[in-house]
Amino acid sequence: MPIKSLIRTVPHYPKQGVMFRDITTLLKDPVGFRITINEFVHRYTGTKVDKIAGIESRGFIIGAALAFQLGVGFVPIRKKGKLPAATVGHDYQLEYGFDRVELHVDAITKGERVLLVDDLIATGGTAEAAITLIEKMGGVVVEVCAVIDLPDLGGRARLEKLRHKVFTLCEFEGD
């Protein structure tokens, strides 16, 4: 069963012209969800990973399941103001304005090897901000992984230009 076939496309969401790739249809399918997690487990079994960092919010779902299977810790990377204890953050530019990602100050210790997980890679801006934050904490990003790559938006190329490895399970062109 191809994972891509279980991903719903929602036209014109959140704005006109955007083809939103919705993984909730993949997540609700028990076989598809299991295949997705197993693909990532297969890739990272034998790789030294200390923590999985999942980007809010769908990266939490994939990342937590993967962390459980690999027997490593999970840390959430959240939008500003969502974490209850002391945080460290990184601001980054969006198409129209700025946003901020944050981690708890005790989430990652110096030298820990971190796998960054999200549902998709579009422009790469959020992933780049998360990488900067992980590195600010002293962590080493092993790889960036996602279910979906939207290659026409340039995120993968942007991250690879910064010398980060990227792995995705499928891609949708034309987005």
* Distance between CA atoms of residues 13 and 23, nearest Å: 14
95 catalytic per annotation: yes
Say which of 8, 43, 56, 95 is annotated catalytic: 95
Query: Whole-angstrom Cα distance, residue 166 to residue 118?
Result: 11
Which pLDDT score is estimated for 14?
A: 87
Residue 1: its pLDDT value, please? 61
Q: Region 10-28: what's the mean pLDDT?
A: 93
Three-state SS for 51?
Answer: strand
Fold (topology level) of 46-171: Rossmann fold (3.40.50)
Q: Which of 58, 78, 112, 128 is catalytic?
A: 58
Residue 93 pLDDT greater than 80, yes or no:
yes
Q: Give the separation between CA 53 and CA 38, rounded to whole angstroms.
A: 18
Using pLDDT thresholds of 50, 70 and 90, give the confidence band for residue 117: very high
CA-based diameter of the chain, in Å?
A: 43
* φ, ψ for residue 106, nearest 5 deg: -105, 15
Return the pLDDT at 57: 93
Q: Average pLDDT for residues 57-86, to the nearest whole number?
A: 97
- If one compares 26 and 173, the residue with the highest pLDDT of the two is 26
What does the pLDDT average to over 105-134? 97
Say how far apart CA 41 and CA 35 lie, in whole Å: 10
